[in-house]
Structure 1
């Protein structure tokens, strides 16, 4: 059997195992281990062992539990409740203002957490009931929360970009900076769509009644602004020393986790239950990521040994005669397809051994491609029939919101996200300008 056929068989076996509901790291790791033993005998056992040792020696990996802990502390201590009250008060007089405020809430949650699941949970439990109670269209607000929560994997400190950096061997700091402007661009496009849609059809997002606005004192409005300042202070406390070179990435992540803990204590929100839940969730998510990285590294080592990457590059460029941009577009379409039944981590570790070397060989910037991958993942999260966010929303939404409503709600937001992806692809400097300015590249 040729090496090309072995590579195809490996990939098909892994996809089949994933479709049967096996855990991601188990499916990927099992295929890698069986293939290594079949190809190289007992010597193949060195591959997963080597992957484990590389992971254990990788000092930047310590950032992962730090950022996850920071996000869970801020989430469990319900600091997000204060944020939503702030947006509720200040954006209420604007058509669709509470929906716009929800997008703002998601941006700030993303800057504190780095996981889309946290934004979804907060949006579904805090914003969704309030928006429905105030007469907002259920389909629009369902789409708002799903789209807004997806920003968590693009706006720093994105855990997905940390994972991409580990697999692609790229600087995390540059990837985070590269995600800021595209993340704000996408949030801005969401806000523009919501405002124009509610301006044309005021019934979709009614403004706060005048009597309710008059009942809120100006001093209360000013006090609530502090809720919006807090996450920005935590973010600045973490990022400014790192960007200026005063601290390493790991040290900055520790500062962020400590700042979140101190903020929760000072607000009187840190209880034994909150702390224990945050630690348990951090341990669970961190271990999951570590197992997936080990499996991905083992799988990638076998693929590399087979020469599968060079074979695929030759297929696209020589046999099919495709230009680099066409190959890149096909890659993005494959991500969207896989996103109908896989989460972002699974998609990355499955195709990273193939796509990342291929992108580099085609002459594209791997920092820019990391942003493209993340945006495409956001789109895939919301793509029927089995988009990850669709079922998260179904699990958290009230009974009056059915699966048909959830599917219909994401159509305009997916179109907005595709437009954002096209803009970043056409103008790479949107992603690359900030890291080039900071790092002098």
Structure 2
């Protein structure tokens, strides 16, 4: 059997197992173990063993549970609710102000948590009902929540970029910095679109009544504390890291500690918050650990049979595709896979193949990590089977139907595609900040 056929068999078997409902790590791990035993014999048992120790020796992996814990503490303690109250008061007089405030809320939640699911949950349970109650168009605001939650895996500290750094063997610090400008740029594009559309169609987003907003200016300033706390946490966590005062792992510990202190100061750090935060942190962390372990084993077998070089020869030598054509094909494959898989599964499946190919084609793997992240979120929001579409349907109020959700994401997907094209044409949008910080 040729190496190309072995590679296709491994991919086909893995996808077939996933279609049966098996967990991602189980499907990937089983295929990699079976392929290793068939190809290398009994000596193949060393491959998962070595992969496990490679994982446990990767010091930045300690950041994962700390960042996840930080996000859940801030969410469970009610600090996210306070944030929405602040945005409600300060943006309520603008047409579409609460929708713009929701985008701002999503950016802050992303900076606190690093997971798009957390932003989606908070947006769907806090922001969406409030905007519906105030007469906002249900289709538009459903798209706002989904688009805002997409920033969760791009704005640092992105857990997905930590996973990409582990699998692609790239520095997580550079990946985080590379995601800053693209994340803020997309948030700005979303906000501009909302303001312009609501200015042209005021009935979509009525302003909040004067009675609700008629509070003393002193009280408004007091509400700013809700925004100051996450900002301070983000500064102490990321700012100290960028200034070289703390390492990556130390910055995650600072963030987790600061979140705990903030919850204690708010008076909401009780037994229930501790139990929920620790339980959810353990579940997310273990899931990522198993997935990374399976990915490393799969990558070891894949590298061993020379599949990467075979695919490269197919694209470049046989099909005579240019590097940019190959890159576009990769992005389109993410769109297709995103209809069925989440970002972790997509990364684990294709990273062993795509990342070495990207490097051999002369592209920057840090820049490509941002492209991958944005494309995954576009795939999540693409009908008919986008992951975020069904997640929103599960969380949204009953009056929001699946057709409403499908229609809601169209303008935001177009904005994300525009942002993706800009980043592909101008790589310095992603690379300027990490190059500037690390050149000091």
Q: TM-score range by the shorter chain?
A: over 0.9
Q: Extract unaligned runs of 5+ from structure 2.
A: none
Provide the TM-score with structure 2 as the length reference: 0.99
SS in structure 2 at match of 1:208? coil
Matched, 1:437 2:427: no
1:115-135 CA-partner distances (Å, limit 9, x unpaired):
011111111111011000000
Q: Extract unaligned runs of 5+ from structure 1.
A: none
Return the alpha-carbon distance in structure 2 between the equivalents of residues 242 and 413 of structure 1: 32
1:183-217 CA-partner distances (Å, limit 9, x unpaired):
0000000001111111110011111123433x222
Partner of 2:281: 282
Partner of 2:326: 327
Return the alpha-carbon distance in structure 2 between the equivalents of residues 45 and 228 of structure 1: 51
Partner of 2:413: 414
Partner of 1:370: 369
Partner of 1:191: 191
1:211-241 CA-partner distances (Å, limit 9, x unpaired):
433x222111111111111111001101122
1:243 to partner: Cα distance: 1.2
1:378 to partner: Cα distance: 1.0
Matched, 1:146 2:139: no
Asked whether the equivalents of residues 3 and 310 of structure 2 are also in contact (C-alpha less than 8 Å), the reply is no
Return the alpha-carbon distance in structure 1 between the equivalents of residues 246 and 210 of structure 2: 49
Matched, 1:338 2:343: no
Partner of 1:116: 116
Which aligned pairs between 1:343-422 and structure 2 lie closer than 5 A?
A: 343-422=342-421
Asked whether the equivalents of residues 115 and 153 of structure 2 are also in contact (C-alpha less than 8 Å), the reply is yes
Partner of 1:230: 229
Return the alpha-carbon distance in structure 1 between the equivalents of residues 437 and 286 of structure 2: 33
Return the alpha-carbon distance in structure 1 between the equivalents of residues 210 and 290 of structure 2: 54
Q: What CA RMSD, in Å, does the superposition of the two structures yield over aligned residues?
A: 0.8
1:354 to partner: Cα distance: 0.3
Q: List 4+ stretches of structure 1 deviating above 4 A.
A: none
1:43 to partner: Cα distance: 0.8
Partner of 1:96: 96
Partner of 1:250: 249
Partner of 2:268: 269
1:313 to partner: Cα distance: 0.5
Return the alpha-carbon distance in structure 1 between the equivalents of residues 364 and 242 of structure 2: 21
Return the alpha-carbon distance in structure 2 between the equivalents of residues 240 and 91 of structure 1: 27
1:132-184 CA-partner distances (Å, limit 9, x unpaired):
00000000010100110110000000000000001111111111011000000
SS in structure 1 at match of 2:372? helix
SS in structure 2 at match of 1:363? coil
1:234-274 CA-partner distances (Å, limit 9, x unpaired):
01101122112222111111011000000000010100110
Count of residues in Structure 1 that have an aligned counterpart in Structure 2: 440
Return the alpha-carbon distance in structure 1 between the equivalents of residues 215 and 404 of structure 2: 34
Return the alpha-carbon distance in structure 1 between the equivalents of residues 120 and 212 of structure 2: 28
